[in-house]
Amino acid sequence: MQARMALGSEPIEVWQQELDSALDLLRTHTRLIETGAQPGPDFETLQSDLVATHQHLLQAYDREADPVTELVAARGFLDRGTAGLTGVADSDPILAGVIDGFRKAIVHLQRAEERVRSQIHLPPPEPTDQLASMRVPRLNRLRRQRMVPHWRFPPAPPPEVTVVPAEPLPPPKTFEELDANMATLKERAAARAEAAKERSKKPAETAEDPLAPPEPPPGFARDPLPKLSSAEFAQQNARLCFEEVTMVGMARLPMLNEPWRSMETFDQRMLNSIDAIIAL
């Protein structure tokens, strides 16, 4: 969506339509992994390959770099991610369908690459100062990294803890060897008891800071509120702005026989929230 907004009113070319088809396939089949794949495989490598794929695809879509170079790089990461799934697809039909969808996306990327090779790459214009939208939306080109999807793939199972059995003791032939074996068995038993004690030990409770303010009564919050980092502040305000856009977008619809101009206040509130999202 961000790539399409960056182009604005520029016509969408055929190779960009191929990218749209590839992105739609990636979105659909990564969603299948989130909702239907069986836990077990380690999806961390696939996730990093998909992030790199989307970064290169969006760079190509917006012409921020040479589209041919970006498409070749995106296809390489997607090829590697698809190859990493082939070993586990035999036991999971969902992953077999995901591989098929990824391969269809690769075909769309190949078609886009063939169509864009004959074009001369011209870099986009430099971003200008951001201006507020008054009554109509204003298109702004931003100089920032592209936002890529975030997936919640099934986590990898925890590693199995296996206890290596102790080597068997040789059968004693003398009383001295019997005493040595008994001493060894006692040492092993003491080590097992110590290990079990460590596993069952509860974490030490941290001592309360005597200078810390007491907990507020139920229904009240601390004053002042916890300090937010820059990222947390931007995330919180972006969420509020998106909620405002959704709410006002539904409230701006006029009633029957009511003119649209009576909803201008709601339109401007929605545009103000969109401008705030861009500025964050």
Tens digit of each residue's pLDDT (9 = 90 or more) over 72-129: 999 999 999 999 998 888 888 999 999 999 999 999 999 999 999 888 888 777 777 8
Residue 196: inside a domain: no
Distances in Å between the Cα of 110 and the Cα atoms of 7, 68, 103, 277 are: 22, 10, 11, 35
Angle between helices 264-279 and 230-251 (to 10 degrees): 160
Domain final residue, candidates 94, 116, 138: 116
Domain region containing 106: 2-116
Distances in Å between the Cα of 14 and the Cα atoms of 40, 116, 233, 239, 261 are: 40, 9, 40, 34, 38
Residue 68: inside a domain: yes
In this predicted model, which residue has the larger pLDDT, 41 or 232? 232
pLDDT in tens, 210-236: 667 778 788 777 777 778 888 899 899
pLDDT computed for residue 47 by the predictor: 93
CA 191, CA 252: separation in Å to the nearest integer? 72
Most confident of 14-23, 216-225, 243-252: 14-23
Domain final residue, candidates 116, 132, 164: 116
**Terminal C-alpha separation, the chain:** 17
Q: How would you label 252-272 residue by residue, b for 16+ Cβ within 10 Å and e otherwise?
A: beeeeeeeeeebeebbebbbb
Give the residue-averaged pLDDT of 39-52. 90
Kindly report the average pLDDT of the chain as a whole number. Answer: 83
The radius of gyration of the chain's CA atoms, rounded to the nearest angstrom, is: 30
pLDDT in tens, 116-156: 988 888 877 777 787 888 888 887 777 777 888 889 998 87
Domain final residue, candidates 59, 88, 116: 116
CATH code of 14's domain: 1.20.120
User: Is residue 202 predicted with pLDDT exceeding 70?
Assistant: no
User: Is residue 184 predicted with pLDDT exceeding 80?
Assistant: yes
Instruction: Look up tokens 């098929």; give the residue.
Output: 100
Residue 46: inside a domain: yes
pLDDT computed for residue 5 by the predictor: 42
Among 60-64, 205-209, 219-223, 266-270, name the one with the lowest average pLDDT: 205-209
Residue 57: inside a domain: yes
Residue 191: inside a domain: no
Q: Looking at the 3D structure of the chain, how many domains does it have?
A: 2
User: Is residue 9 predicted with pLDDT exceeding 80?
Assistant: no
User: In the structure, what pLDDT confidence band is assigned to residue 208 with cuts at 50, 70 and 90?
Assistant: low
